Amino acid sequence: MSRMIEPGAAIGVLGSGQLGRMFAIAARKMGYRVHTYSPDDDTPTGQVADLEVNAAYEDLDRVREFASNVKVVTFEFENVPAATTAAAAERTIVRPRGEVLHVTQNRLREKTFLQQSGFPVAPFRTVRSVTELVAALKELGCPAVLKTAGWGYDGKGQAKITDPSQADAAWQGLNTSEGVLEGFIQFEREVSVVAARGSDGEFVHYGVIDNRHQNHILDVSVAPADVPAAVTKQAIELAREVLEKLDVVGVLCVEFFLTHNHQLIINELAPRPHNSGHLTFDACVTSQFEQQLRAICGLPLGSTELLRPAAMANLLGDLWFPNTPNWGRALSIPDVKLNLYGKLAPRPGRKMGHLTAMAATQQEAIEKVIRARELLAFVGERPA
């Protein structure tokens, strides 16, 4: 094991959203100080951090100064420029390594890495023009999904093509110079494995989580996923191999398509805590955020035991209109926990928080968390 970074030290976070917020809460609980760096102020992370630095990611002198004042730097989202992590690495440890971020923040690099490493992925082609897109559609057929190579999340930067005649409109709509065309996978469900790897190679995981989406945004996650034992075993082993191949120190989520004949196809990698793992904040002995802290600080990794079956439901800004959510109604269900992210302004589609419900069975947890979310929109008196 590498030298331990002990409680009391300052930890740097590149990015300042809700993932950084929950990481900072876990870190401060264990006695660490947290510094966050992003172009914004009064951010979800900054509200609970010890220090909030507001500067552009491209201001590499400020990045170096920031990194000089912490023992280790991590990140809470992928869209941090590679030059930023390289500048931070000049002054301190960066975990996961900047090379991991470089691979996973670009769909073409990520899929090429996965394919060349022998992992199961959908067939894909690189496209840099309408002409190349038309040729790729002839090879892969329709339907297919065209995606930007970089900077996409929650369904942004992608378009489904059901007929070759849509090629020109799809390419123009993406407004990019480089894209990836993927063969369409007929899947039964989407699942994920959130896992962590320590500096000494120690590996832990949170099992397989079942994910349900609405409008390309994660809506509800359930743990454990109701899948065959063989699928669970294979998904965990694939996740382990991905973290080892990338030499990850930290948390990484592997998102899968599960086909009707129980084949796993890797869809995306996220080299940080993941929305589908938010339920671990309340439902596991060690949350994914504390696990990230333990890994990057060289501490032994914690137990991932799920205390009870759990379900998480995202709270989008839509719930704030036309009325402020009725928090009392939702929390009248005793097994429901509320996490709000401190974002200053709600807007449709924006992740403002989440609810987690725990119960004796997965189905009961799902019903509780959905019912609680429905009660948020209830207009009337709060329960006594």
Backbone angles phi, psi at 11, to 5 degrees: -110, 135
Q: Structurally, what CATH architecture does the domain formed by 187-376 represent?
A: 2-Layer Sandwich (3.30)
Query: Which 3-state string (H, E, C) describes 291-305?
Result: HHHHHHCCCCCCCCC
In this structure, what token pair is assigned to residue 64?
């170096």
- CA 7 to CA 32: how far, in whole Å? 5
| pLDDT tens digit at each of 384 positions of the chain | 468 999 999 999 999 999 999 999 999 999 999 999 999 999 999 999 999 999 999 999 999 999 999 999 999 988 899 999 999 999 999 999 999 999 999 999 999 999 999 999 999 999 999 999 999 999 999 999 999 987 655 556 788 999 999 999 999 988 888 999 999 999 999 999 999 999 999 999 999 999 999 988 999 999 999 999 999 999 999 999 999 999 999 999 999 999 999 999 999 999 999 999 999 999 999 999 999 999 999 999 999 999 999 999 999 999 999 989 999 999 999 999 999 999 989 999 999 999 999 999 999 999 999 999 999 986 655 444
Q: Structurally, what CATH architecture does the domain formed by 123-183 represent?
A: 2-Layer Sandwich (3.30)
Backbone angles phi, psi at 273, to 5 degrees: -55, 155
In this structure, what token pair is assigned to residue 30?
């264990």
The H-assigned helical ranges of 51-128 are 60-68, 82-89, 98-104, 107-116
What's the confidence (pLDDT) of residue 382?
45
- CB-CB contact of 286 with 205 (8 Å): no
In this structure, what token pair is assigned to residue 237?
């082993």
Side chain identity at 278, as an amino acid letter?
H
What's the confidence (pLDDT) of residue 383?
43
> What's the fold here for domain 10-94?
Rossmann fold (3.40.50)
Per-residue CA distances from 163 to 145, 167, 168, 229 (Å): 11, 8, 11, 38
User: Domain limits of the chain?
Assistant: 10-94, 123-183, 187-376
Rg (CA), the chain: 21
- CB-CB contact of 72 with 19 (8 Å): no
